[in-house]
């Protein structure tokens, strides 16, 4: 799955002047074969459920397209689903608006009727429901896996009224209507971030009240960097959807009582979200699991959490987006050690950055280090071929864009 899903058999790709885009798995995930254009896989919650865990999904699911079985997270191994469906954004964050748009829409949040008409933000409603689900699991004396997936922070940008006043500023000195709206959007965004932050604090406190704080691991992370319409994560270059560090570089914070040392920081090693799958399974003592196709992406980062080395600093990690969305040209990328190579599909252009020495990616080193370019292009090309990575089709020739180790175009831009 290389782009986001919503409608059945539909892709969000925009028309491109020179490329057509592949027939990717636009219907999302599935547990069983037979659903057109789906990724069939055994999921983390399913494996944890088999090991005795109560598996709870709260919030944004966005695993599969509308009118396919897996738009309901319960088809993917969750015992409980609260407010999750095919959409990746809510109709509204406001209970006064029933978490919906003015007219019925595919993005309207399901299953929270008890909060309709109330002055409550979606983040708070989801937190309340998550607490109830935790109460039930503890009462049943079952270990639990809670996937707390807030719709925030994501458009539509709407204020969390609990916090918005502290961020409101005087805009009388701003003459442009557009500039005032941008400032207001940033204020709304800040309140949404604080609301999500409070949710995490509330859940941590609830674990303590339930008496399971010392036996519960908490992992917090984002799935991508800042949206282009919000303040960017400087000094990182770029944003969500983009191959530069402002897109994929995100925080990850782990609390594992008795294992992770408080206030410890890991800055020399890098991990990727695929690592969560084997990491959680190792934490839960699940062994000898298999995945369709025989390969498990990602590696357990338990050694890092224990303060050990365990992972090679020369490990290669990958990104692949053969799509055209919000002006971002299709790309593939690999990081190995200090270097990251980006392959731009449309003009078959390669960029090389040292993301340790140049975290803002201001200097393309491709001409200075042709051997490093060649090395990483080969690693990336081999990975794409092995993983079945689809490439866009060049309209003029009706042939697929070549893999990165099959081109030699390097620019200084």
Express each pLDDT in 313-372 by its tens digit: 889 999 999 999 888 999 999 999 999 999 999 999 999 999 999 999 999 999 999 999
Same domain, 146 and 266: yes
pLDDT band for position 53 (50/70/90)?
very high
Same domain, 300 and 368: no
Provide the residue range defining the domain that includes 148. 19-305
Same domain, 209 and 134: yes
Strands 144-149, 54-59: pairing is parallel
Q: Distance between CA atoms of 246 and 257, rounded to whole angstroms?
A: 31
What residue ranges in 111-209 does DSSP mark as E strands?
144-149
**Which one-letter DSSP state was computed for residue 117?**
T
Alpha-helical segments (H) within 216-351: 276-283, 302-305
- The backbone torsions φ and ψ at residue 410, rounded to the nearest 5 degrees and listed phi first, read -130, 135
> Given this model, what pLDDT does residue 310 score?
67
Last residue of a domain, one of 249, 282, 305: 305
Mean pLDDT confidence for 6-24: 95
**Does the residue 138 lie in any domain?**
yes
Same domain, 339 and 234: no
- Asked if 324 and 21 count as a contact pair (C-beta separation under 8 A), the reply is yes
Same domain, 94 and 211: yes
Q: Distance between CA atoms of 392 and 346, rounded to whole angstroms?
A: 9
Last residue of a domain, one of 255, 275, 305: 305
- Asked if 284 and 48 count as a contact pair (C-beta separation under 8 A), the reply is yes
**Does the residue 8 lie in any domain?**
no
Nearest 5°: the CA angle 385, 388, 391 is 85
- The backbone torsions φ and ψ at residue 151, rounded to the nearest 5 degrees and listed phi first, read -65, -35
Q: What are the structure tokens assigned to 25, written together?
A: 């798995």
Q: Which residue in the block uniquely carries the two structure tokens 């707390």?
A: 148
Q: Which residue has the higher pLDDT, 288 or 55?
A: 55
**Does the residue 413 lie in any domain?**
no
Q: Distance between CA atoms of 64 and 31, rounded to whole angstroms?
A: 11
Count of domains for the chain: 2
**Does the residue 310 lie in any domain?**
no
pLDDT tens digit sequence for 371-402: 999 999 999 999 999 999 999 999 999 999 99
How far is residue 233 from each of residues 2, 237, 393, measured CA to CA in Å? 24, 8, 33
Same domain, 285 and 378: no
Give me the residues paired with residue 149 across strands: 59
Q: Distance between CA atoms of 346 and 401, rounded to whole angstroms?
A: 8
Q: Distance between CA atoms of 3 and 11, rounded to whole angstroms?
A: 8
Mind giving me the DSSP string for 354-391? Answer: ETTT-TT-----TTT-HHHHHHHHHHHHHHHHHHT---
Last residue of a domain, one of 251, 275, 305: 305
**Does the residue 411 lie in any domain?**
no
**Does the residue 4 lie in any domain?**
no
How far is residue 258 from each of residues 217, 308, 309, 348, measured CA to CA in Å? 10, 15, 18, 49
pLDDT tens digit sequence for 210-241: 999 999 999 999 989 988 888 888 999 999 99
Same domain, 23 and 106: yes
How much is the pTM? 0.94
User: Looking at the predicted structure, is the pLDDT value of residue 407 above 80?
Assistant: yes
Report helix, strand or coil for 11: coil
> Given this model, what pLDDT does residue 268 score?
77
């Amino acid at each position: 799955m290389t782009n986001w899903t919503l409608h059945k058999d539909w892709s969000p790709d925009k028309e491109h002047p020179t490329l057509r885009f592949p027939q990717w798995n636009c219907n999302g995930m599935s547990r069983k074969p037979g659903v057109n254009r789906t990724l069939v896989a055994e999921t983390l919650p399913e494996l944890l459920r088999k090991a005795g865990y109560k598996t709870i999904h709260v919030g944004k699911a966005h695993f599969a397209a509308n009118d396919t079985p897996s738009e309901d997270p319960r088809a993917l191994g969750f015992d409980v689903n609260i407010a999750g469906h095919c959409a990746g954004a809510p109709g509204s964050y406001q209970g006064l608006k029933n978490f919906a748009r003015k007219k019925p829409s595919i993005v309207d949040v399901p299953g929270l009727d008890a909060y309709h008409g109330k002055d409550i933000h979606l983040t708070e409603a989801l937190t309340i429901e998550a607490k109830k689900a935790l109460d039930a699991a503890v009462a049943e004396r079952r270990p639990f896996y809670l996937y707390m997936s807030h719709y925030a922070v994501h458009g539509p940008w709407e204020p969390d009224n609990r916090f918005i006043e502290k961020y409101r500023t005087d805009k009388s000195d701003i003459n442009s209507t557009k500039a005032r709206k941008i400032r207001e959007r940033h204020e709304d965004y800040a309140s949404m971030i604080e609301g999500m932050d409070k949710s995490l604090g509330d859940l941590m406190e609830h674990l303590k009240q339930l008496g399971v704080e010392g036996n519960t691991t908490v992992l917090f992370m984002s799935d991508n960097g800042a949206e282009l319409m919000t303040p960017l994560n400087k000094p990182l270059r770029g944003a969500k959807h983009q191959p530069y560090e402002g897109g994929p570089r995100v925080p990850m914070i782990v609390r594992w009582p008795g294992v992770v040392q408080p206030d410890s920081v890991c800055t020399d090693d890098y991990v990727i979200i695929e690592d969560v799958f084997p990491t959680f399974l190792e934490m839960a003592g699940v062994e000898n699991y298999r995945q369709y196709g025989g390969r498990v992406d990602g590696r357990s980062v338990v050694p890092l959490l224990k303060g050990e080395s365990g992972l090679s600093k020369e490990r290669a990690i990958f990104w692949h987006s053969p799509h055209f969305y919000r002006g971002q040209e299709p790309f593939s990328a690999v990081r190995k050690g200090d270097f990251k190579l980006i392959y731009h599909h449309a003009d078959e252009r390669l960029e090389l950055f040292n993301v340790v020495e140049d975290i803002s990616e201001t200097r393309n080193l491709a001409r200075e280090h042709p051997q490093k370019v060649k090395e990483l292009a080969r690693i990336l090309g081999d990975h794409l071929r092995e993983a079945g990575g689809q490439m866009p089709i060049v309209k003029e020739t009706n042939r697929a864009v070549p893999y990165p180790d099959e081109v030699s175009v390097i620019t200084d831009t």
